[in-house]
C-alpha cells in the first residue's frame, strides 16, 4: 500500500498512549477516529488529547491554525466497527495482555478491507504471537511509539515472522511523512530495540548502586549531563567508529568482564519490591519521593524535549 493512500487512521485505546498517538496523526493532517470502551473513557481520552494540543501550542510547536486543525481531525466513538470502518491503518493501544490482543486482532481482520494495515503499540509482546490467529498476518506489525509519543520522535516498526516487506516500508514512509523518526526492527525479539538498550543500561545502573559504587542520584546525573546530553546527535556506535574499533575492543577486553550480567532481576529490585518501595507511586523507591515532586520531574522532562525538538526538527512553515 502506498502511504499516499493512508489518510484515515483508527486508534484503539484512550489510556496512557492512545491520545498521544492520535495526536501524532491528527496534527499531521490525517483523519483520526479514536475508539473507547465507553463515554467516560472517550472523555478522558479527549481531555488528554486537548491537553497535548494546548501544551504543543504553548511550547511553540504548533500554530493556532494547526492546533485547530489537529482538534478537528479527531473524533471519538464507542463502536469499534464504526471506528475502523474506512480506516487505512488501525493502531491498537489497549492493555498489555497477549490473549486480549490476539482476540482483538482476529476480530479486526474480519472488520476491515484486506488492504488495511493493523499494528500494535505493544512495548514488548511479540507481534508474531499477537497476529498468530489471523489469516493474513503479513499486513500486521508493531508500531511502538515511545512515551510521551507526541514529544519523542522514535517509533519502532517491528516485523513479525510473516510481516511483509511492503507493510514495513509503507509504515516507515507514513511515519516519516508525519514527522517521526522510524526504525525497522527486522527480528521480533523480546524488548524490540529501544527497550533492550534501556534495560541493559538499567541493569548496569542498578548494579552500580547495589555495589555501592555510586548513589542513584549520582548515576542519573552522570547520564543526564554526560552520555545522555550527546546521544541525540552522537550514538554509541558512531562513537565506537570515531574513537576506533581497535580502542573499543581493547577497552571491552577488560571492562566487559566486570559489567553486570545478571540473568534475573537484581537483588536491589527484589528488596525494594518486597518492602513495598515501588517508586513514585508508593512514595519511595530508589529515591525518596516524599521529598521530590514526580509531576515536576515530568514537566521538566517535557519542557526539555520540546526545546530539543525545536532545535533538531524546526516547526513546519505556517501554511
Q: How distant, in Å, are the alpha carbons of 31, 298, 309 from that of 302? A: 26, 6, 10
Average pLDDT of span 43-51: 97
From the list 109, 89, 108, 66, the residue with the least C-alpha distance to 3 is 89
| Residue 142 near residue 192, CB atoms below 8 Å | yes
pLDDT attached to residue 310: 84
Residue 246 grid cell: 581497535
Phi, psi of 212 (to 5 degrees): 75, 20
Cα–Cα distance, 229 to 188 (Å, whole number): 30
CATH class in words for 3-185 = alpha beta
* Domain assignments of the chain as residue spans, ordered by start: 3-185, 195-312
| 3-state secondary structure (DSSP) of residue 9 | strand
Cα–Cα distance, 36 to 38 (Å, whole number): 6
Cα–Cα distance, 133 to 178 (Å, whole number): 31
Q: What is the mean pLDDT of the chain?
A: 94
CATH number of 195-312: 1.10.1040.10
Alpha helices in the chain (DSSP H): 18-26, 39-58, 64-72, 80-84, 98-109, 127-130, 165-177, 194-210, 216-222, 228-230, 236-243, 245-255, 267-274, 294-312
Indicate the pLDDT class of residue 319, thresholds 50, 70 and 90.
Answer: very low
- pLDDT, tens digit, 9 for 90 and up, residues 146-191: 999 999 999 999 999 999 999 999 999 999 999 999 999 999 999 9
Cα–Cα distance, 128 to 244 (Å, whole number): 38
Please identify which residue in the block is written with the cell numbers 543526564: 224
More confident residue, 124 or 116: 116
Cα–Cα distance, 237 to 53 (Å, whole number): 35
Indicate the pLDDT class of residue 312, thresholds 50, 70 and 90.
Answer: confident
Indicate the pLDDT class of residue 317, thresholds 50, 70 and 90.
Answer: low
Considering only 67-76, 204-213, 310-319, which range has the smallest mean pLDDT?
A: 310-319
Average pLDDT of span 62-91: 96
260-264: long-range pairs with CB below 8 Å, 24+: 260/203, 260/204, 260/206, 260/207, 262/203, 262/207
Asked if residue 295 has pLDDT above 60, the reply is yes
Residue 45 grid cell: 481520552
From the list 27, 8, 18, 188, the residue with the least C-alpha distance to 116 is 8
More confident residue, 4 or 119: 119
- pLDDT, tens digit, 9 for 90 and up, residues 186-244: 999 999 999 999 999 999 999 999 999 999 999 999 999 999 999 988 999 999 999 99
Cα–Cα distance, 161 to 140 (Å, whole number): 10
Cα–Cα distance, 109 to 131 (Å, whole number): 10
pTM of this prediction?
A: 0.92
Amino acid at each position: 500500500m502506498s502511504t499516499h493512500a493512508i489518510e484515515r487512521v483508527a486508534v484503539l485505546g484512550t489510556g496512557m498512549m492512545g491520545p498521544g498517538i492520535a495526536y501524532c496523526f491528527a496534527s499531521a493532517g490525517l483523519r483520526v477516529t479514536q475508539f473507547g470502551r465507553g463515554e467516560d473513557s472517550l472523555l478522558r481520552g479527549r481531555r488528554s488529547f486537548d491537553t497535548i494540543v494546548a501544551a504543543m501550542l504553548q511550547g511553540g510547536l504548533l500554530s493556532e491554525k494547526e492546533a485547530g486543525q489537529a482538534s478537528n481531525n479527531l473524533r471519538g466513538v464507542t463502536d469499534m466497527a464504526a471506528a475502523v470502518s474506512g480506516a487505512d491503518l488501525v493502531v491498537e493501544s489497549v492493555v498489555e495482555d497477549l490473549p486480549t490482543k490476539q482476540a482483538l486482532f482476529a476480530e479486526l481482520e474480519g472488520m476491515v478491507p484486506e488492504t488495511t494495515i493493523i499494528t500494535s503499540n505493544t512495548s514488548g509482546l511479540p507481534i508474531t504471537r499477537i497476529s498468530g490467529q489471523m489469516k493474513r498476518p503479513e499486513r500486521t506489525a508493531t508500531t511502538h511509539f515511545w512515551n510521551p509519543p507526541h514529544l519523542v520522535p522514535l517509533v519502532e516498526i517491528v516485523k513479525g515472522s510473516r510481516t511483509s516487506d511492503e507493510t514495513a516500508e509503507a509504515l516507515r514512509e507514513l511515519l516519516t511523512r508525519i514527522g517521526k523518526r522510524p526504525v525497522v526492527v527486522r527480528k521480533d525479539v523480546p524488548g524490540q530495540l529501544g527497550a533492550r538498550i534501556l534495560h541493559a543500561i538499567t541493569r548496569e545502573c542498578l548494579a552500580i548502586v547495589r555495589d555501592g559504587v555510586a548513589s542513584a542520584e549520582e548515576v542519573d546525573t552522570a547520564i543526564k549531563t554526560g552520555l545522555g546530553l550527546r546521544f541525540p546527535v552522537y550514538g554509541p556506535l558512531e562513537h565506537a567508529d570515531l574513537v576506533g574499533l581497535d580502542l573499543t575492543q581493547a577497552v571491552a577486553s577488560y571492562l566487559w568482564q566486570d559489567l553486570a550480567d545478571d540473568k534475573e532481576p537484581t537483588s536491589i529490585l527484589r528488596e525494594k519490591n518486597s518492602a513495598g518501595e515501588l517508586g513514585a507511586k508508593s512514595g519511595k523507591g530508589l529515591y525518596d519521593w516524599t521529598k521530590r515532586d514526580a509531576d515536576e520531574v515530568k514537566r521538566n522532562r517535557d519542557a526539555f524535549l520540546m526545546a530539543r525538538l525545536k532545535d533538531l526538527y524546526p516547526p513546519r512553515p505556517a501554511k
